Amino acid sequence: MNYIKYHGHSCFEVGGSLVILFDPHDGKSIGLPVPDARADFVFITHEHFDHNAVHVVRGLPKVVRDDCNGIFKNLKYQCVMDYHDESGGAERGMVRIFRVELDGISFAHLGDLGRIPDREKIDFIKNVDFLFIPVGSVYTIDSSKAFEIVKMVEPRITVPMHFSTKGLKLNLEPVENFLKHFEKEKVKKQGREKRFNRDELPKEKEVWVFSL
């Protein structure tokens, strides 16, 4: 049994034979609850305060930043760099795009991606099982560009992130701007946590929307 647990903003806990965490925030700085998670690995896409609060994570996790290619037991991870903006990184710098495989299930986390990546980077995450993608605009791609990326990547399950939520101090667009691009029956609201077996994942593409 595997699971995905949402801790708000771009922070997701993915569990199975190991527990990994993407982009922890510290809670109070952005108006959300502090992530309550113990992890074996923490993946940091970039060094902005709402994505790199490693100190809130319990346990003694391995923190993955620049040394972002590795294998440990049932975990394999890789990354490529892209831009946090549409100005070649001049405004907000760079972000890591992670591709992670845990227990035979593939995940891609795009951090605060600021543009549509080139074909080589699209191919790097092509056909993953889960795509965590920012959709809230302002500091990242907007909902329309996110949808274009989804069409190119063709993930089994799309998970929107980095959008306006109750309490969030950042002025982002709502997730509904992204969801309108999909047929209603393809959108599945999952609450805060979803447990699943690899062989029971949907055959048809879906969008899973998590909430706190």
Q: Among 109, 96, 104, which Cα is nearest to 76's?
A: 104
* Per-residue DSSP letter, 47: -
Dist. CA 158–CA 169, nearest whole Å: 25
Dist. CA 51–CA 44, nearest whole Å: 7
Dist. CA 87–CA 163, nearest whole Å: 22
Domain count, the chain: 1
Q: Residue 193's pLDDT is what?
A: 99
Q: Residue 88's pLDDT is what?
A: 86
66: containing domain: 2-210
Convert 153-166 to b/e letters by CB count within 10 Å (16 or more is b).
bebbbbbbbbbbbe
Q: Residue 90's pLDDT is what?
A: 81
List strands edge to edge, sheet with 62-64: 62-64, 41-43, 19-22, 12-15, 2-6, 193-196
Q: Residue 85's pLDDT is what?
A: 82
Q: Residue 17's pLDDT is what?
A: 99
Dist. CA 106–CA 100, nearest whole Å: 6
Q: Residue 73's pLDDT is what?
A: 98
Dist. CA 23–CA 52, nearest whole Å: 6
- pTM for the full predicted model: 0.97
Please list the pLDDT of the chain residue by residue as tens digits (212 residues): 999 999 999 999 999 999 999 999 999 999 999 999 999 999 999 999 999 999 999 999 999 998 999 999 999 999 999 999 888 888 898 999 999 999 999 999 999 999 999 999 999 999 999 999 999 999 999 999 999 999 999 999 999 999 999 999 999 999 999 999 999 999 999 999 999 999 999 999 999 999 99
Q: Among 169, 124, 159, which Cα is nearest to 28's?
A: 169
Q: Residue 100's pLDDT is what?
A: 99
Q: Residue 62's pLDDT is what?
A: 98
Which CATH number do you get for residue 135?
3.60.15.10
Q: What is the DSSP string of 139-206?
A: SS--HHHHHHHHHHH--SEEEEES---TT--S----THHHHTTS-GGGEEEEETEEEE-GGGS-SS-E
